Amino acid sequence: MTIRLFNTMSRKLEEFKPLQPGKVGFYSCGPTVYHYAHIGNLRTMIHNDILKRMFLENGFDVHHVMNITDVGHLTNDDDDTGEDKMEKGAARDNKSVWDIAKFYKDEFLRDYDDLNIMRPTDMPHATDYIAEQIELVQKLEKLGYTYEIPGDGIYYDTSKFAAYGALTGGALSGNRAGARVEFNSEKRNPTDFALWKFSPVGVRRQMEWDSPWGVGFPGWHAECSAMGMKLLGDHFDIHTGGEDLSRVHHANEIAQSEPITGAPWVRYWVHFSFLVDKSGEKMSKSSGEFLGLESVRRRGYDPMAYRYMILLGHFQTQLAFSWDAMDAAAAGYKNIVRRVADLMADAPGGQRSDDAYNAWHDRILAAVSDNMKTAEALVAVQELLRATDVNAATKIALFEFIDRLLGLQFIDRANRLRALENVAAPSEIQELAARRATAKADRDWATADNLRAEIDAAGWTVVDTRDGWKLVKKAE
């Protein structure tokens, strides 16, 4: 099947051609573990997951690397100044840097699992690859790309790399020279960036290492180049990240890597648009005010409803989060689960039709293979549910495929729903439901509503069906 992706580098939709037949190597910039991940970060991770699942369903062998940043990311990425985000997080939480790295990584993975995001093949920590990062800087030093700012660090001279900023179409001047940020005046060019930062004199950092240039720590960008090359080889297929990363972080990764590996280091660059708030502001960890998946769970939403909401949009469009949008997504998601549960009741004994299966399978996979059009795939899912010429057994088989591709766990949730429905309600609740049915028949809506509320308060939901009412136990 044809796979097309929008490549930030060419600004075009391109047909995907793997470096090695049947294989895909892809690298995703992962979380900086100084705080909880917010639902914006998780949006990016959901899109990564769709990319991976799409390749798997197309029969590729996927090697996915996602790093864990546990050192070197300063509060001001643009000019390598400010505080180390990890040290700042540790001071806030009154813990060691190593402790917060472990704590927030575990929390991140809990969210990851709750959103049914497949774990990466490799999840390297920046602090486990210090030697590789030093080696990268040494190579760049030998090739003449570096200079030292005494008392500060080893810097990359971006004027030596002609293609600098190609990802965002910017030459040197177009990037940061015009910005009103004061840059370190000792830098040769405003876009130059730190490869290795020295520990401040007289200060012992919690994370610091010896290097040929003195005690210090790697610049944030170094880790992705060093670990990408180490784990995926000198050239690989795809590199992904949020839209904020293309201008500086990925520009710097390319500048660090291509003098060593030759161009192009990476074939396809894929950037995911932000999750924003109602006023269009990017959700960010550094603002201190953000929503984590925990807020979603605490309000009683199934994390799958959040995943469903993300997949209703396209990765190249910013998505404004609101609780109203969440309500709508949760209702839409539940509706599909309900219908899948009904199909399960009808499916046994039915014979799956291969023709219908293949036609719907190909239609849904084609939508996601075409630049990850998940919303289009979900439209097809709705049509499939309505289709009168596809039997229940075929639909259920298709939902197994849809769950592999979109990771929405429809079958699992439908099973849970059925399990709850099969619990017999106690007689007093059945009695309330029977009285409600009578009230409805008498068009006494007020009494019917009160009885529904009473049933609800007792932990049950009364559902009207074609054959009367049934009682469903509410999930804990």
Q: What residues line the site for ligand AMP (CB under 6 A)?
A: 29, 31-32, 40-41, 43-44, 69, 241-242, 244-245, 272, 274-275, 282-285
Smaller CB distance to ligand AMP: residue 41 or 371? 41
Q: Cα–Cα distances in Å, from 368 out to 262, 272, 365?
A: 32, 15, 5
Quick one: tokens of 57? Answer: 């369903």
Which strand (E) or helix (H) includes residue 374? helix 374-386
Region near Zn ion per CB under 5 A, out of 13-21, 29-37, 113-121, 304-312: 29-37
Smaller CB distance to ligand AMP: residue 89 or 259? 89
Distance CA 299, CA 292 (A): 12
Distance CA 271, CA 441 (A): 56
Smaller CB distance to ligand AMP: residue 68 or 130? 68
Q: Decide if residue 248 touches Zn ion (CB under 5 A).
A: no
Smaller CB distance to ligand AMP: residue 31 or 259? 31
Q: Cα–Cα distances in Å, from 423 out to 334, 418, 420, 465?
A: 19, 9, 6, 17
Smaller CB distance to Zn ion: residue 62 or 66? 66
Binding partner selected for residue 244 from ligand AMP, Zn ion, none, CB under the kind-specific 5 to 8 Å limit: ligand AMP
Binding partner selected for residue 365 from ligand AMP, Zn ion, none, CB under the kind-specific 5 to 8 Å limit: none
Smaller CB distance to ligand AMP: residue 241 or 313? 241
| Candidate residues 9, 29, 266, 319; the one interacting with Zn ion per rule CB under 5 A | 29
Taking the complex as a whole, how short is the minimal distance between the CB of residue 85 and ligand AMP, in angstroms? 9
Asked if residue 246 lies in contact with residue 269, where contact means CB atoms within 8 angstroms, the answer is yes
Which residue in this structure is represented by tokens 């998780």?
A: 42
Chain residues 202-231 in contact with Zn ion, contact rule CB under 5 A: 224
Binding partner selected for residue 224 from ligand AMP, Zn ion, none, CB under the kind-specific 5 to 8 Å limit: Zn ion
Taking the complex as a whole, how short is the minimal distance between the CB of residue 126 and ligand AMP, in angstroms? 11
Asked if residue 57 lies in contact with residue 405, where contact means CB atoms within 8 angstroms, the answer is yes
Quick one: tokens of 132? Answer: 């590789």
In 3D space, the residue among 74, 68, 140 whose CA is nearest the CA of residue 108 turns out to be 68
Query: What are phi and psi for residue 340, nearest 5 degrees?
Result: -65, -40
Which strand (E) or helix (H) includes residue 15? strand 12-15
Taking the complex as a whole, how short is the minimal distance between the CB of residue 257 and Zn ion, in angstroms? 11
Q: Which residues bind Zn ion (CB under 5 A)?
A: 29, 224
